[in-house]
Structure 1
């Protein structure tokens, strides 16, 4: 291209000089040069006209030209062909994506930056009752008017899905999950979770009912075992060991039933929005005394912000915090140091329970909050653990819009409870 530009410039200079020489025969050198320049300008204008005419019909072959204009025509022609090939490829890819989306059983809805419906698949049309003739281009909140969905959509906090009854058939439950992409555009995924919710409800009801039913026979057994223990010296010696073991296992079963009932209540009851302010520093001080009574061979260091309060249910928060502290005492050897830090930053409030025990293998960390999960069954049997403590902590944090984070290494473990800034307040406000 540079070579052709230089050639075109040289051609312009040569013709201008020739025009000036030709005009010099009549003592009109300037007029001769101007005439040549006018002819060259007319030629370029003619080529521009050919270019404009061709661009109006880009499917035609480009005009023939041997000068710089030939390179221009050929360059535009090849660029158009590449663009056309890319457009065809993108169109085919888009068709494949749409076809695969249409085959999904879950609903897929594309929402533009204005919040208007742009595209959806057959499953979404069936589950949401959408119509291409009347609903395309309509705001999503005009069609899904449930207040909880509107709040969920406008909050732009889409970490967790939203489950609501279907506005078409209330017997069905739909799970909504929104993902932000592009320039404030959204992808809405809709899933029918009716069966899963029913199974989850059956599981919760089963656990709650069985736990309640177990309390009565356990109470009777514990009562008789306590009576026998009071008169253990009157029983044969070979019965006393069995009596001791039955008392221990009965107490362990009562503890398990109690934690099952607590977990069932956390899963089934709704959190009170008008939660009371909690003096966390005072609560942790009381938990520390209980933990020291549990073991006199641990050092427990307390570092708290006494001005920092949190909104919530005091019984639930106490249960979560005491589970973490008591676990640290039970699962670390005598002489270990446990640190309790309660502080805040610009993101929210944090409780850290650190220990310098043997730590937990990284492969177990993501399973620790599952019900009945134990890192070491033999150690849990010795300490009387049920495998439900961290599951209770997890549910308490979720009910307080927070989360539990667990990290561990060979130098010890750290359990962190996070509360969002909206759940915290200062002492003077409390």
Structure 2
């Protein structure tokens, strides 16, 4: 460990952070829940910290007494006994009192509640900041860093100004926009490409794949798609102003091409506009607004409420056509699904379709659960029906939110459509 730290220092790294967080090896050594050793590395609280302490000592020996070392640690596991907050606070105090480290970076969550470790669209901005005062009390004047959707500049700035923390840690937000810091520094907040909290980067990495980003095709692949200035004044026609079409139009215009963008609806954003409609999905809404600003920033010839035909394309005679018309939702073939009191999710989310006080939502996947949650927040009486025996098998953290709401679940349950009362 010391040799690796020395190599990093010699390579120009300004600070080394030791990852004693999230149920990984070092964190497990410090945990009474996981560490059952009977030698000098287990048993008492001090013994459980020995492995971490020896690592820090090796790094300090290799890098010198004036080189900054930070520890990223688990404060607590939130909703189980894997790491009680009392143990986390004791570890923070132990590290501060040791005099060996220069900064504490705390986070919350564990393998048992991984949703708390990895920020998602369903979590509020700065969701770990409420615990910062407790850590501050333990570590005194030692610099404190936190993470948890702090890529919103106003929230990050306020947390520092209020003395909650001294530094912010940003992960996913820098994959979405690696120029985040410079844009904040230069006051170009409207040009920040916001992370939507979809987790594609994280989940693909867990599978051993690269870290593709849903909103930044260059994320972790910067050398694969160089955006060079246009060499000719070509005319590009983009059909569809969903996220794909908006991004294509803005990118082409940025490179210097002449761009026309046609959208049959009266609004931009496509299906993403509906996806960002629930009040707890502001991250997605922010991405739509960012794309709108990018379209406005460049000379894109925008045509809303205009459905384009093959004849129109032939008349316009573009050099290239980008077809970004999206997809249509699959409607379950249930008798009565075409009745006037039945609708798919998108018109309801976009407030194009009014619903009554009592609403039945068919489907317990992400769309059904998001719609049910939004309607519940609006004060509707919601029953959600799912054919399987459980809901949201791919998003456990959101399923917890559903189960603690006023939504009435029916699983497993058959479906039939009756006439409205």
User: Which one has a larger percent helix, Structure 1 or Structure 2?
Assistant: 1
Q: TM-score w.r.t. structure 1 length? A: 0.24
